[in-house]
Amino acid sequence: MNVIGVLTSGGDAPGMNAAIRAVVRTAKYYDMKVMGVRKGYEGLVHGDIFEMTARDVSDIMHQGGTILQTARSLEFKQIEGVRRAISTARYFGIEGIVVIGGDGSLKGARDLCTEGMPTVGIPGTIDNDIPYTEYTIGFDTAVNTAKEAVDKIRDTATSHERCNIIKVMGRSSGNIALNVGIATGAEAILIPEREIDFTRDILGPINAGKKRNKKHYIIILAEGVQDSDGLEKQIESETGIETRTTILGYVQRGGSPTVVDRVYASQMGSYAVELLKDGTGNRIIGVDKNRVFDIDIYEGLDMPRIIREDLIELSKILSI
């Protein structure tokens, strides 16, 4: 292939820029042309497409977000939208596409493949919730941002003898909560993958902490679990401990990407171009035992969800 397109789609994630940079630089290395598509599938359907030069990706590695912008496209979810996107891409001379995004975006990439456009998907989402890969771009930065916020909240919780509920992102996945909770020594980690028993999971650790003269209690709540208002009131009424909630929200999506995100994003972006250069589409890229690999897009997206029982178990042991 000589001309490829690149787009970012769905929620933005720190490290997407490093992936775009790697796509452009690797393509230039092989004398291929790269067409940047703005605003994800929306831009592909409507032709918001421009030729990218090596300069377009200078000085972007350290920036969060995505220079190509991202969007959610309802039109693309219909088969007519997919077909329109492909004819627009062909009009711009695009022979293969790199899609960087989360679960929904990779399903969109699969539709492009089915309709005849060779496409390679790169997992980019802070949630790290895509079963075929151990890692998704943005996760490390997001958990580090959340970890720093929790460390700061812990300082003030100690001064006031409070219980703090900290709600973190992750949609229907508890991966961010689980990792942040373990990294910050939270008393309780509440995730959607595990049914919550108030007495066992919340009162138990708080009462055990009281006996040891603990001065603060940190509860990490994944956004997919439950409304934090009700939880706050229930903890106050059953323990008498003043309880406050902090919702971290979009702060977790921002910030300069960590080394982990930059290196994986660079590897995956470059790998995607290597595949398309040789005419190989219909693949998605992932990480397995710290190595970047590719797998058939249909097979990869059909894999069942993995629940990190080992981390759940560890969190129970360490919170007693």
Residue 101 interacts with ligand ATP (CB under 6 A): yes or no: yes
Catalytic residue among 48, 111, 127, 201: 127
Q: Is 73 in the site for ligand ATP (CB under 6 A)?
A: yes
Residue pair 298/162 in contact by the 8 Å Cβ criterion? no
Distance CA 77, CA 138 (A): 24
Which amino acid appears at position 109 of this protein?
Answer: A
Among 5, 14, 64, 102, binds ligand ATP (CB under 6 A): 102
- Token readout for 7 is 């787009």
DSSP 8-class letter at 240? -
- Choose which of 88, 125, 133, 266 interacts with ligand ATP (CB under 6 A): 125
315 touches ligand ATP (CB under 6 A): no
Q: Name residue, tokens 């398309």.
A: 276
Residue 32 or 248: which CB sits closer to ligand ATP? Answer: 248
- Asked if 257 touches ligand ATP (CB under 6 A), the answer is no
- Which residue's Cβ lies closest to ligand ATP? 104
Residue of 17, 27, 76, 224 interacting with ligand ATP (CB under 6 A) = 76
The footprint of ligand ATP on residues 77-96 (CB under 6 A) is: 77
Question: Binding of ligand ATP at residue 105 (CB under 6 A)?
Answer: yes
State the minimum distance, in angstroms, from the CB of residue 142 to ligand ATP: 10
64 binds ligand ATP (CB under 6 A): no
CB of 123 to ligand ATP, least distance (A): 9
**Identified binder of ligand ATP from the candidate list 95, 103, 193, 294, rule CB under 6 A:** 103
Nearer to ligand ATP, 137 or 190 (CB): 137
Q: In what order do the strands lie in the sheet with 163-168?
A: 188-190, 217-222, 163-168, 243-247
Q: Which is closer to ligand ATP, CB of 253 or CB of 277?
A: 253
What is the C-alpha to C-alpha distance for residues 44 and 112, in angstroms, rounded to an integer?
11
Secondary structure of residue 296 in the 3-state scheme: strand
Q: Hey, how many other C-beta atoms are within 10 angstroms of the C-beta on 177?
A: 30
Using an 8 Å Cβ cutoff, are 204 and 239 in contact? no
Beta bridge partners of 291: 288
Of the residues 32, 49, 89, 127, which one makes contact with ligand ATP according to CB under 6 A: 127
Is residue 41 close enough to count as binding ligand ATP by CB under 6 A? yes
Q: Give burial (CB, 10 Å; 0-12/13-18/19+) of 6.
A: buried
Binding mask 16-35 vs ligand ATP (x if CB under 6 A, - otherwise)? --------------------
For residue 101, the number of C-alpha atoms closer than 13 Å in the C-beta half-sphere is 28
Alpha helices in 185-308 (DSSP H): 204-211, 228-239, 259-277, 297-301
- Going by C-alpha positions, the residue among 75, 132, 137 that lies closest to residue 108 is 75
Minimal distance, residue 81 CB to ligand ATP, in Å: 8
CA distance 141 to 211: 36
Based on the residue annotation, tell me whether 127 is a catalytic residue of this protein: yes
Least distance (Å) between residue 104 CB and ligand ATP: 2
Measure Cα distances from 1 to 27, 45, 124, 271 in Å: 10, 21, 24, 14
Does 111 engage in binding with ligand ATP (CB under 6 A)?
yes
Q: Kindly tell me which of 73 and 243 has the beta carbon lying closer to ligand ATP.
A: 73
Does position 108 interact with ligand ATP (CB under 6 A)? The reply is yes
Q: Which amino acid is at 281?
A: G
- 104 contributes a contact to ligand ATP by CB under 6 A: yes
Q: Which active-site residues does the annotation give?
A: 127
